Chain A
Amino acid sequence: MTTSAEIAVERRDGSIVAKLSGEVDITNSQYIAHELAGSVPNDAAALVVDLSRTRYLDSAAIELLFDLARRLRRRRQALRLVLPSSSPLKRVLEVTEIAAVAPVHESLDDALKPSEPQV
């Protein structure tokens, strides 16, 4: 049994949208981190990571989101997350206070609206 995740990247309205599906844990978080970081060109305003179809995140995966936010901030780019409130992953993002570095939006459209109030 191996952990598997897939990333689909597209460009929308000057931002990069990365849809992350499947499971991310300590065994593949480095690979995912590498893919995500590599998907953001210098001229993109933000990276939106859509977690709507993500089934599992562990502490290593959350650590990678913190790390990614730090890295993007240094390049004056924003990290935003998409997670519907019905997702089982909701509480773990609250507990780890990821919103302090990457605002969490209810839907992809919300995340792409400029300067919307954060959820």
Chain B
Amino acid sequence: MAGSAEEQLRTVARQQAAVAELGQRALGGLALEELVDQAVAVAARELEAEFVSVLELTGDRRGLLIRAGHGWPEGVVGGVLPSDDDAFPAFALGSDGPVVVDEFATETRFAPSAVQRELGIASALAAPIGSAGGHFGVLGVHSREPCSFGPDDAHFVQALANVVGTAAERARAEELVRDSEARFRELADTTPALMWTTDSDGHVTFVNEGWLRFTGRSLAEELGDTFAMTAHPEDRERLRRGWAEAIANRNELHAEYRLRRYDGEYRWVQETGVPRWEGGDFLGHVGTATDIHERRLMEEALRESEQGFRELADSAPVMIWTTDTDGLITFVNEGWLEFTGHELQEELGATWTVGVHSEDADGMLSSWLRALAARQPWQREYRLRRRDGEYRWIVDRGVPRYEGGRFVGYVGTATDIHDRRSMEERLRQVYEREHRIAETLQRSLLPERLPQIDGVAMAARYLPAGRGAAIGGDWYDAIELKDGRVALVVGDVVGHGLRAAATMGQLRNACRAYALVEASPAEVIARLNRLVASAGEDAMATVLYLVLDRETGEVSFTSAGHPPPLVLSRRGPDFLEGGRSVPVGAADPAVFREARETLPPGATLLLYTDGLVERRDVPLGDRLGQLKAAAAAAGGELQEICDQVLRGVLGLQDPVDDVALLAVRPEVASAEHLSLTLPAEPESLAGLRQRLGRFLHAAGASEAEQYEITLSVCEAAGNAVEHAYGPGDADFRVEIRVDGHQVTADVSDRGSWREPRGQERGRGLRIIEGLMEDVEVNSAENGTVVRMRRRLAAGVPA
């Protein structure tokens, strides 16, 4: 599968372009059905695959429907495979990354599926679709000829599966939103409560049937700037003031006022309005009004006489209670007994938490006791058990009452607000889910982990904006270039939402492709600019593109409208100010400038997006100063520096916009000691070789010694890779020391050493024994250490 390096890079760039294109279509709203077919076609084309399949978990989760495919004999697509057996599809469904089968003949983890067996499939590659824990299905590529799929192929298939997964999740969420909007209206119209919604200007956009029945007006009469029009003239001014304040501050509204009923009678209602948000935008309020006329009358009647009150209370359709001065219940009305199904005697005394949901009881009791001690009015929402066993949300409200200036206890009323509560809860869930989907999409477009680049330490952070905000189009990337330098990219697409996230994915992929063919930062940015201009979309992005020579610390960079990178060194923090140009997409043609600097030894570079330094209320200059101060105070490992900088600048607040932060430090090589932890994958070996070669060269080893020691260490590492404890995520460790002329190398893993298998591995051990003077293999339960020693002809010059 691997040709020359360049050919490989071209293939990867082509595959990434194909993924970005598919992602773009997915976001363009292509139907899931068509998207799945296109994903199959792309996989077949890019991998020249004999067979491709998309399996979908069936509704009962017991089968995998072969939803789409390429190359299969008739009748295969549409069939169902079991999802709970030990075969390949079930294994791939349960894994959290791509699964590669070099040959089923030697595969021990699982068997081929019935279809694979029938067709004589020899090799396969499959990736789970959807997020871990909620997999939708499996995307698979199969071949009858044995072939080995490389890590680029695996990553490509996983990326396609991610696009399909995101689209599937979105399709499901859209269904839910549609569903829940319809349900909201239906619920709103069948609930006896009075409900309304307003837009961000406070204009009424909807009132429910209950409201229209109550006021006797038509929908057309109610919509628009009608707030408080039907309120009692004496209450109108007070209500309008409260309302204006709630809109301006986007607060909740609480009011009690008299509302005119259809028959002209003014009834006391209690109104609550809750602000609605979507993707960071204030949409208006959703509100309910509850008729509390009886309660108000009750309070008035109570002032007149106890006996008259009780008679009135029992005929009232609300739940009513009174207490004595110690807060002990002295009376509950028929309405209350009707609700709970209890006898009056059971309700009297210190019975405050009887029937209250266990999760709500403590909070309810302590708030009541606090109010009682201070003789303050009390209000609380909690769940109370109805006579049929169902817990219903109620709002309970008590006010102290006085006779002749003397406190005599409380009187309270409770109202069932269950339908309102569950509707609010449902709306909130829908908004949160949408936000999560956009976030998932954005994360799937970011590198899962930063690439391991030899000689450069890196750490990155991505902070999505606080709750209720839309997803941004920020990204970061690190690319190892052909000439051995490293390109670092941080970008921010102007705008928010799924569209910005999609544009981000496209720019990121394009940037990767251009990085491989262009050495100059200004030229890479110019190409991005041409791409955006030719796409004819009015997209715009700020991008910082920086190329680092890790040997010399020389950097060249272009900043397309992006805030300047920060360099941390012993000299203190300093911004790299040059290379300033217009944002990508702002003008065409445009001139992009490039600047060069040399980093001091041991310096750390901080690249970030403007979410870190931009806030509406503070000038940019001040925020950059704040960043500088936070960076000056930070120290330690890169991960810690990232966290300290974020904390120092943002405090404990969620950022108002997304923040991407990338910290990079060229490593200073030690001449005596090298210690590396690498993923247990064959691909780690090439980087390990480079690293060992440089280290041994610096230690004064001859060319032959460099090769022989490097080869020995890599053979031991190869064994660790092959026998490490699990597929995928395991690491191995290499420690090498030069003490005068003596070289000691340890290769350790957490797997168990296996006896060499076959001639090839036997040869590996023979090579180590032949090239090193001394080899020890220490195998314990928690891992294996291979220690190798050898003397150099000439050591480090002392």
Contact = CB atoms under 8 A, between A and B. Distances in A.
A2 B708 contact: no
A63 B759 contact: yes
A16 to B, nearest CB: 20
Contact of A95 (B5, B759, B770): B770
A92 B771 contact: yes
Contacts of A96: 763, 766-767, 770
A30 interface: yes
A23 B689 contact: yes
Given A31-B3, A91-B771, A92-B771, A62 B763 contact: yes
Nearest to A60: B760
Given A26-B682, A91-B704, 4 more contacts: A59-B760, A92-B708, A92-B767, A96-B770
B715 A58 contact: yes
Given A27-B683, A63-B763, A91-B704, A56 B711 contact: yes
Nearest to B685: A25
A118 interface: no
Contact of A59 (B150, B480, B682, B764): B764
Given A27-B682, A62-B763, A63-B763, A4 B5 contact: yes
B339 interface: no
A28 interface: yes
23 contacts: A1-B686, A2-B2, A3-B686, A4-B5, A25-B686, A25-B714, A26-B718, A27-B685, A30-B148, A31-B3, A55-B707, A58-B685, A59-B760, A59-B761, A62-B763, A62-B767, A63-B760, A91-B770, A92-B708, A95-B766, A95-B770, A96-B766, A96-B767
Contacts of A58: 685, 711, 714-715, 718, 764
Contact of A92 (B1, B2, B690, B711): B711
- Which size class do A's interface residues fall under? 20 to 34
A73 interface: no
A89 interface: yes
A26 B708 CA distance: 17
B416 interface: no
Interface string B1-30: 111110010000000000000000000000
Interface in A12-32: 23, 25-28, 30-31
Nearest to A57: B711
Nearest to B688: A1
Main secondary structure of the interface of B (DSSP, over half): helix
B687 interface: yes
Interface of B: 1-5, 8, 148, 150, 453-454, 480, 682-683, 685-687, 689-690, 703-704, 706-708, 710-711, 714-715, 718, 759-761, 763-764, 766-767, 770-771
| In the complex, the 7 A-B pairs of residues with the closest C-beta atoms, listed nearest first | A95-B770, A4-B5, A88-B707, A59-B764, A88-B704, A1-B687, A63-B760
A10 interface: no
B790 to A, nearest CB: 12
Interface in A70-112: 88-92, 94-96
B766 A56 contact: no
B707 to A, nearest CB: 4
Given A1-B687, A96-B766, A28 B704 contact: no
B125 to A, nearest CB: 16
Given A25-B714, A56-B711, A88 B706 contact: yes
A95 B4 contact: no
A27 B687 CA distance: 12
Contacts of B4: 4-6
B703 to A, nearest CB: 5
B714 A1 contact: no
Given A31-B2, A31-B3, A56-B689, A1 B771 contact: no
Contacts of A66: 759
Given A56-B711, A59-B761, A95 B767 contact: yes
A28 B760 CA distance: 15
Contacts of B767: 59, 62, 92, 95-96
Contact of B686 (A27, A89, A90, A95): A27
Contacts of B714: 25, 58
Which of B150, B683, B686, B766 has the most chain A CB atoms closer than 10 A to its own CB?
Answer: B686
Given A59-B767, A62-B763, A95-B770, A2 B1 contact: no
Contact of A90 (B480, B704, B715): B704
A1 B454 contact: yes
Given A27-B682, A27-B686, A92-B767, A56 B707 contact: yes
A64 to B, nearest CB: 9
A3 B764 CA distance: 19
A28 B2 contact: yes
A59 B4 CA distance: 20
Contacts of A62: 763, 767
Nearest to A87: B704
Interface string A23-56: 1011110110000000000000000000000011
Nearest to B480: A1
B686 A23 contact: yes
Which of A2, A23, A26, A62 has the most chain B CB atoms closer than 10 A to its own CB?
Answer: A2
Nearest to B3: A31
Contacts of A4: 4-5, 8
B479 to A, nearest CB: 12
Contact of B690 (A1, A25, A28, A91): A1
Contacts of A56: 689, 707, 710-711
Contacts of B690: 1
A117 B168 CA distance: 69
Nearest to A32: B2
Contacts of A57: 711
A62 B771 CA distance: 15
Contacts of A23: 686, 689
Nearest to B1: A31
A91 B708 contact: yes
Nearest to A62: B763
A3 B757 CA distance: 24
Contacts of B761: 59
Contacts of B148: 30
Nearest to B718: A26
Contacts of B766: 95-96
Contacts of B150: 27
Nearest to B706: A88
A92 B520 CA distance: 41
A30 B771 CA distance: 25
Nearest to B722: A26
A1 B144 CA distance: 31
A2 B5 contact: yes
A58 to B, nearest CB: 6
A87 to B, nearest CB: 8
A13 to B, nearest CB: 28
A64 B763 CA distance: 12
A2 B771 contact: no
B718 A59 contact: yes
Contacts of B764: 58-59
Contacts of A60: 718, 760
B700 to A, nearest CB: 15
Nearest to B770: A95
A2 B8 contact: yes
B2 A3 contact: yes
A62 B763 CA distance: 9
Contacts of A94: 770
A91 B702 CA distance: 13
A25 B718 CA distance: 10
Nearest to A5: B4
A6 to B, nearest CB: 6
A88 B708 contact: yes
Which of A62, A88, A96 has the most chain B CB atoms closer than 10 A to its own CB?
Answer: A88
Nearest to A63: B760
Contacts of B3: 31
